[in-house]
Chains A and B, each alone.
Chain A
Amino acid sequence: MLLITCPFCGPRDESEFACGGEAHIVRPADPAALTDAQWADYLFMRKNVKGVHFERWMHSHGCRRWFNAARDTVTHQFLAFYKMGEQAPDIAPVSYTARPAPRTDPALPADPALHTDREGAR
């Protein structure tokens, strides 16, 4: 269960909120001028970031107002809450992609624990 800070009401339980997905998607000023592919990009294509994700939340069982948040999609940790219309805070992206590491011992067996830890314990 997440503790979410509504910019209007303060910290509340996750169950009071609805998540609205990726933030800062601007509706095209002149939809009729777009190609089908551009319109599909606006409607459907998403960043789906692994790392810091800027997203919309709504305090649906509270003040019913929308706001934005920055959250790490691996740890689920919130990094910022800010109001609609405000500039996204400057938060350095986090990369969860492994770095190329020369394997010292290729005969080493796969270690499942290593992998679960990498995502689970951060």
Chain B
Amino acid sequence: MGYSLWSLARNARTHHENWPKAWRSPEPKPAYDVVIVGGGGHGLATAYYLAKEHGIANVAVLERGWLGGGNAGRNTTVVRSNYLRDESAALYEMSLKLFEGLSAELNYNVMLSQRGLYMLCHNAHEVQDAHRRAHAMRLNGIDSVFVPRADLARHIPIIETSPHIRYPVLGALLQRRGGVARHDAVAWGFARAADARGVDIVQNCEVIGLRREGARVTGVETTRGTIGAKKVALVAAGHSSVLADMAGLRLPVRSMALQALVSEPVKPVLNCVINSMTVHVYVSQSDKGELVMGAGMDKFHSYGQRGSVSVVEDQVAALLELFPVLGRLRMLRQWAGIVDVCPDASPIVCKAPIAGLYVNCGWGTGGFKATPGSGFVFAHTIAREEPHPLVQRYSLDRFAGGDLVDEHAASGIAH
């Protein structure tokens, strides 16, 4: 059923108790054309575009927990495309453009709010780099502008602009089309739209092994039995190495616990997204009034979805350095998600060197903004058996070729 003002009014009459389920929860079939492992945003988007763009709807998305319980529902919802290199700019900009049409495309309000994203500069080097990035972005047709310190106080009244702090704010790289979107809605919207096209979404179904015939992957073993598949696509974010290991495939990713926290709700004080790599915090204010912040990561490998208190301490110290006015703010809750970090902070989207197997991982600390784009290019790669032109360079081979796409500076997180 389509969502509209009319359906809202109609359901209001029955006290909103008769809304149909947004997606079915079918028993898994014995076999599918494509089995997608991982029901996060990227897996669900892949399923949607497989059905929509390539007419492949005999697809299952297998999720070991509940839909959106991974990073899809744990991220801090920042979307942007302020990347330096042409390959990254093209990929993330395509994704941002998809985001701009996503609510209409999915008939689901993803609450995209392009409120502007500032990446702060605290030293001469960062200022130079921001100018370079602003030019590179404009050459790639992406909006960007350098905001000098004098103007920043006007844009962001609560920011500390004193030249006497340890890392004075010297200016910022601004992408006006950057902002935030509702992360759950992106996962739910893709789930509902994929389901409507015939995709089976199976939750509580952990993949525990891969079935192989000869050199080919022919299905998956799961906690709900064996499921055959002509093609198996791994989109498991922080658990990518665990799944790749089932195929004897080695990946260059490290699983790390990235943390976030939110404050109690307060009146509107911040109408944009602020990111500082040097003081090391990023923050935005949700529609409910909570300040949502992140950037801290435990320094060791982790699959424990919690994150240490010491990281919270650093995070809050950084926040107060930039916004002393928030000194009395209380924090409500904290959480972590397991992100898959690549050596060059760029993703891997490709056919695996094993027939029937496809891999999409390595989005690390910044894959939410790429959710629609990642699904779009991965669906193409799976359906056509060849990389989508935008991810030609994002193969696993790039590590052997030494052709890395270093985007640490654009990742927004020191790691």
Genuine A/B complex: yes
A100 within 8 A of B: yes
Chain A: minimal CB distance from B347 (Å): 14
Alpha-carbon separation in the docked complex, A96 to B305 (Å): 14
B251 at the interface (CB under 8 A from A): yes
B401 interface residue, CB < 8 Å from A?
Answer: yes
Q: Which of B27, B204, B400 contacts A36 (CB 8 A)?
A: B400
CB distance from B282 to the nearest CB of A (A): 22
- For B301, give its contact among A43, A55, A119, A120 (CB under 8 Å): A55
From B64-72, B116-124, B317-325, give the one contacting chain A.
B64-72
**In the assembly, what is the distance between CA of A49 and CA of B204, in Å?**
23
Q: Say which residue of A1, A21, A96, A110 sits within 8 Å of B303 (CB atoms).
A: A96
Q: Is the CB of A21 within 8 A of B254?
A: yes
When the two chains form the complex, which single residue of A48, A71, A115 contacts B254, counting CB atoms closer than 8 Å? A48
Asked if A97 and B255 make an inter-chain contact with CB atoms under 8 angstroms apart, the answer reads: no
A58 CB to closest chain B CB, in angstroms? 11
Min CB–CB distance A121 → chain B (angstroms): 10
Which of A1, A2, A99, A110 has most chain B Cβ within 10 Å?
A110
Contact of B252 among A2, A15, A46 (CB under 8 A): A46
Q: Is A48 a contact of B204 with CB atoms below 8 Å?
A: no
Classify chain B: how many residues form its interface, as a range.
35 or more
**Chain A residues, Cβ within 8 Å of B224:** 103, 106
Of A24-32, A73-81, A83-91, the segment with at least 4 beta carbons within 8 Å of chain B is A73-81
Number of chain A interface residues as a range: 35 or more
Question: Which residues of B sit under 8 angstroms from A33, Cβ to Cβ?
Answer: none
* B221 interface residue (CB < 8 Å to A): yes
B206, B222, B343, B400, most chain A CB atoms within 10 A: B400
In whole angstroms, what is the CA distance A76 to B303 when docked?
A: 9
Name the CB-closest residue of A to B242.
A50
Known: A97-B208, A98-B206. A45 touches B304 (CB 8 A): no
Residues of A near B305 (CB, < 8 A) are: 116, 119-120
Give Cα A55 to B400, complex, Å: 24
**Would B253 and A97 count as touching, CB distance under 8 A?**
no
Chain A residues with CB under 8 Å of B208's CB are 97-100
A19 to B27, CA, bound (A): 44
B254 / chain A contacts, CB cutoff of 8 Å: 21, 46, 48
Q: Is the CB of B399 within 8 A of A97?
A: no
Mask, B327-352, CB within 8 Å of A = 1, is 00000000000000001000000000
B223 at interface by CB-CB < 8 Å: yes
A45-B252, A46-B254 are known contacts. Are A74 and B304 too (CB-CB below 8 A)? Answer: yes
Distance of B27 from chain A, by nearest CB (Å): 6
B250 touches A (CB below 8 Å): yes
B216-242: CB near A (< 8 Å → 1, else 0) gives 000001111100000000000001011
Q: Is B66 a contact of A55 with CB atoms below 8 Å? A: no
Task: Say yes or no for B309: interface residue by CB 8 A criterion.
Answer: yes
> Could you tell me the distance between the alpha carbons of A81 and B27 in the complex, rounded to whole angstroms?
47
**A73/B304 in contact, CB under 8 A:** yes
Contact B310 A48 (CB under 8 A): no
Question: Is B109 interfacial (CB 8 A cutoff)?
Answer: no
Give the residues from 1 to 59 in chain A that come closer than 8 angstroms, CB to CB, to chain B. Answer: 1-2, 14-15, 18-19, 21, 36-37, 39-41, 43-50, 53, 55
Give Cα A102 to B223, complex, Å.
Answer: 7
Q: How far is the CA of A86 from the CA of B69 in the complex (A)?
A: 41
Whether the Cβ atoms of A110 and B400 lie closer than 8 Å is no
Bound Cα distance from A44 to B20, whole angstroms: 48
Whether A19 pairs with B300 at a CB distance below 8 angstroms is yes
Q: Is the CB of A112 within 8 A of B66?
A: yes
Given known contacts A1-B308, A36-B400, A45-B251, A50 and B303 CB-to-CB distance under 8 angstroms = yes
Nearest B residue to A77, CB-CB: B304
How far, in whole Å, are A45 and B362 apart by their CA atoms in the complex? 13
Q: Which residue of A lies closest to B26 (CB)?
A: A106
Q: Whole-angstrom distance between the alpha carbons of A41 and B353 in the complex?
A: 14
Given A18-B299, A73-B255, A110-B204, A100–B223 Cβ distance below 8 Å? Answer: yes
Residue of B with least CB distance to A97 = B208
Q: Can you list 10 pairs linking A and B with CB atoms under 8 Å apart? A: A1-B310, A36-B401, A40-B400, A45-B252, A47-B241, A50-B239, A50-B303, A100-B221, A100-B222, A110-B65
Contacts A14-B308, A44-B399, A76-B302 known; 4 new A-B pairs at CB < 8 A: A49-B301, A76-B304, A97-B206, A112-B65
Give chain A's interface residues, CB within 8 Å of chain B.
1-2, 14-15, 18-19, 21, 36-37, 39-41, 43-50, 53, 55, 71, 73-76, 96-103, 106, 110-112, 115-116, 119-120
